[in-house]
Amino acid sequence: MCRPDNRYSVLGGVLLTLSPFAGLLDGFKDVALPVLLLVLFFMVFQFKFLKRPFKQVSILLRGVLLAYIGLVLFLHGINVAFLPMANEIGITFGHYVDYWVLIPIGFLFGFLVTFAEPQVRVLCQQIEKASSGYVRASLMLYTLCIGVGVFAALAMARTIFAIPLLYILVPGYIIAFILLLFSDKNFVAIAFDSGSIATGPLTVALLISIATGAAAVIEGSNPLVDGFGTIGIITLAPIISIQVVSLLYRVKSPQGDNKNG
């Protein structure tokens, strides 16, 4: 078996063989270009239109530097730890005779990864604000975690039993659009936007790697066909979950008026 790319390979090999600093300098180079382009774009607007004081600009540039370093370290950590670890989990349990074990593992990882995603917490806070505090952020957080866990388990079941992707996505979106007719209109846009929020980098790194790792060793499975598509399935979780919750609560607008779908 050929040696995988230490930074970007999904089938990343054994975790212990990866150096924690391998490719870190390349990571700084890869992220530098888009960050520099964003800074250049801002500076053009600064001199042409914004004309903010130098103190504000210096604070912004220091913040960009911190974000740049943090992004490089975050992505590097995912590439040298999460990707190979999750892949090995998929390969290990893919060798089991009882493939069904991957289904509860998918639920567990889906729940925990969603709970750890910062974007999900921001979304839940926004929902609490939009409902004037009537729908609590904690309720939405656990609803999303359970929803993503269920759909992650469904994605693992698809990988194990080679279920065609359309058999899951088409009914899922039909349900989402039916709920659209009855959901509170304050949450319709939030529900559909939240699909990308709940599928953040941690979710992608862990669940796709588990699915592709399992599909690589399960007899009759194809990693390209049965391993991918996981995120497309999980995207449905927040869309459906938020709309279901909106059916259960009378949402108050920020102005204090009750608005029902």
Domain boundary among 35, 64, 94: 94
pLDDT surpassing 90 at residue 227: no
Q: How far apart are CA 152 and CA 104, in angstroms?
A: 9
**Co-location of 75 and 190 in the same domain:** no
Q: Compute the Cα dihedral for 178, 183, 186, 191 and give only its sign.
A: negative
- pLDDT the model gives residue 184: 78
Pair 110, 79 in one domain: no
Q: Mark whether 63 and 105 lie in a shared domain.
A: no
Complete DSSP assignment for 101-167: GHHHHHHHHHHHHHHH-HHHHHHHHHHHHHTTTSS-HHHHHHHHHHHHHHHHHHHHHHHHHT--THH
Say if residue 32 is in the same domain as residue 109.
no
Q: What is the pLDDT confidence band of residue 249, given thresholds at 50, 70 and 90?
A: low
Is the pLDDT at 9 greater than 80? The verdict is no
Q: What is the pLDDT of residue 157?
A: 92
Tokens of 247: 């059916």
Average pLDDT, the chain: 82
| Domain match, 201 and 222 both | yes
Claim to verify: residue 102 and residue 154 sit in the same structural domain:
yes
Domain boundary, last residue among 49, 75, 94: 94
Q: Is 84 helix (H, G, I), strand (E, B) or coil?
A: helix
- Same domain for 225 and 102: yes
Q: Which domain holds residue 88?
A: 1-94
> What's the domain count of the chain?
2
DSSP state string for 11-75:
S---GGGS-TTTTHHHHHHHHHHHHHHHHHHHHHHIIIII---HHHHHHHHHHHHHHHHHHHHHH
Least trusted range by pLDDT, from 1-15, 51-65, 87-101, 114-128: 1-15
Residue 11 has pLDDT above 80, yes or no: no
Residues 40 and 126 both lie in one domain: no
Confidence (pLDDT) at 83: 84
Last residue of some domain: 46, 78, 94? 94
Between 257 and 91, residue with greater pLDDT: 91
Same domain, 250 and 182: yes
pLDDT grade, residue 178 (50/70/90)?
Answer: very high
Q: Which of 93-97, 135-139, 246-250, 255-259 ranks highest by mean pLDDT?
A: 135-139
What CA–CA distance (Å, rounded) separates 192 from 150? 18
Measured distance CA(162)–CA(221) in Å, rounded? 7
Question: What pLDDT was estimated at residue 17?
Answer: 44
> Is 75 found in the same domain as 138?
no
Same domain, 118 and 43: no
Mean pLDDT within 183-212:
82
Mark whether 141 and 55 lie in a shared domain: no
Report, as an integer, the average pLDDT of 162-190.
Answer: 88
The pLDDT value given to residue 253: 47
